Structure 1
């Protein structure tokens, strides 16, 4: 019973974990040791569309590109804002079988899949795991690299999919940064957006911020709105709080 053995191994391994970093490394070891080419753990708020955190063993150039192109908006493995967590479904894509791609006429999504394959990733499956009755969902994703598509059709692949809820609930956000993982919460803020939020955090009003940065007040408001949208916040106060909590600005 390979599935039961994998479950027992997962629980035993996670029970022995001593920290968030240790838990992450153990989950990576379990999934990649079973044949996955990469492993991803994330958390999203479906009410606001905010990415709370995202950790991945995919290569850094691809992850940086994913952020720079704001591919969260077209990546079918990234749940879209507004869909209740309990209505989210598992998404599986395989580059060699494009009929599995949940794409329509969006040319950017087609570009996304081609670039994903060029980066060496030819298959992926993402399993959403609702966190109780909240609007938040944990996401576990893993998949195959070039030449490893057979893994996506193997019994162990299906077993790992079934074990995803355990990984989602036992996995936690890493504290700080780690050289082998990627943590990103949404699109990058521009330098000017960070400047404006920093001044807001210090209690400055729009007029004073405009004077300090030598820009107009409408431009200040534009930067605030842009930063707020990127961070998935309804108000400027929330945007400042989120930016501080993520270390994007300091007080």
Structure 2
């Protein structure tokens, strides 16, 4: 329950929002209320289409889409495997692509700290609600501890309102997944490694690879992460 009068007023405005422009106004008001550099709502659909609103610089948003950074963004990849909010320091930034991505984001004006709430809606809908700021680790830890509960509630409220303006869902692929393919995709969706999935299904990793590749082909996906996203969005698997 929100008890801050100013925040209550902003959320009341969010409830009255009648279009995406109103969502943008609401998220900018939230950013100002929490006194941080950026706040962003990011929706990714099964086909890779990205929508959202927030305060990231337009140059960075355009660069992100042009370069296809959805495929390497540790925040998207990490939160897709989680159901709980995550501090960016807990994500894997060790590979060269992730480090280069982070360096470019900082050059475009993003902060070095982040707290992201993953949100899942009906039919596998997946979105992220992110708070981003430039400060030291101790200051950010205090901010996250103080506002964690509020940010989680706001993320789900924001997503619920955004669903009202969502485009019509795409039709599911013509080729249905087999029971084994659904099992494999479901376990990958909840964050199991390939070795764990193979052990759970009592099959070899070689056989598992065949199931994954078959599912990926049926779903028209570019890679395994994309295949899981498409399966969730089309309601072919449940997590």
Q: Fold-level match, TM-score > 0.5?
A: yes
Other-structure match for 1:53: 51
Query: Do structure 1's residue 90 and structure 2's residue 61 form an aligned pair?
Result: no
Aligned residue for 1:58, secondary structure, equals: coil
Of 116, 119, 137, the match for 1:129: 119
Q: Secondary structure at the match of 1:77?
A: helix
8 Å Cα contact 2:118-2:128 kept in structure 1: yes
Aligned to 1:115: 104
1:15-65 Cα offsets, whole Å, 9 max, x none, are 3434331232123212332212112112234xx463342333211222222
CA RMSD, 1 decimal: 3.9
Q: Which runs of 5+ in 2 are unaligned?
A: 167-219, 228-239
TM-score (norm 2): 0.56
Aligned partners of 1:102, 1:108: CA distance in 2, in Å? 14
C-alpha contact 1:90 1:128 (8 A) present in aligned 2: yes
Cα distance in 2 for residues equivalent to 1:17 and 1:91: 28
Which segment is superposed worse, 5-14 or 157-166? 5-14
Question: Which of structures 1 and 2 has the bigger CA Rg?
Answer: 1
- Cα distance in 2 for partners of 1:63, 1:105 equals 23
Query: Is the contact between residue 41 and residue 130 of structure 2 (CA under 8 Å) also seen in structure 1?
Result: yes
Q: Gaps (5+ residues) in structure 1?
A: 94-99, 176-227, 235-251
- Which residue does the alignment assign to 1:192? none
Give the CA deviation at 1:68. 2.9
Structure 2 residue matching 1:103: 3-state secondary structure: coil
Quickly say closer, same or farther: Cα 1:14–1:55, change in 2 above 3 A: closer
Question: Is residue 119–residue 126 contact of structure 2 (8 Å, CA) maintained in 1?
Answer: yes
The structure in which a higher percent of residues are helix is 2
Contact 2:10 2:29 in 1 (8 A): no
User: Is contact 1:38-1:142 (8 Å) kept?
Assistant: yes
The equivalent position to 2:61 in structure 1, one of 63, 69, 72, is 63
Instruction: Select 1:138's aligned residue among 127, 134, 138.
Output: 127
Query: 2:31, 2:115 → 1: CA distance?
Result: 12
